[in-house]
Amino acid sequence: MSWYPPPDFVDNTCEIVKVQTNLGQHVATIFRKPPNGEFEVHGACLVRNELVQDFDWRRNRNRPYRKLRIVTSLGSVLDIKRRGTNDYEIETSGFHLTGVKSVSI
């Protein structure tokens, strides 16, 4: 049985995620920093940061994740899921995540 860190697990690394349009235009950078795992967004506004659970049928249990919603300076609303360290998924079409990495601090 593998161990999944909870979505709020904090270690001594800073997570950096860049958000781009499908045309390659940079719209935002998301940072998640220790010691308390707060999210900081540059180039956009973080309007939602909530803990959500969905049922994982393969493992027969609830799996929590962070749901972030950011609004870009152009007015686009982006929904992003964070399931664990470096495990980000964007739910909004027309955008993608690049540069998902952790940096030791």
Residue 27 lies in a domain: yes
- The helix, strand and coil proportions of the chain, stated in percent and rounded to the nearest 5, come to 0, 65, 35
Q: How many domains does the chain have?
A: 1
* Contact in structure between 79 and 90 (CB atoms under 8 Å): yes
CA gap 29, 35 in Å, rounded: 19
CA gap 6, 87 in Å, rounded: 12
User: What's the pLDDT tens digit per position in 8-39?
Assistant: 666 677 889 999 999 989 999 999 887 777 89
Residue 1 lies in a domain: no
Whether the full predicted model's pTM is greater than 0.95, yes or no, is no
Q: Which domain holds residue 90?
A: 14-104
Residue 80 confidence class, pLDDT cut points 50, 70, 90: very high
Residue 6 lies in a domain: no
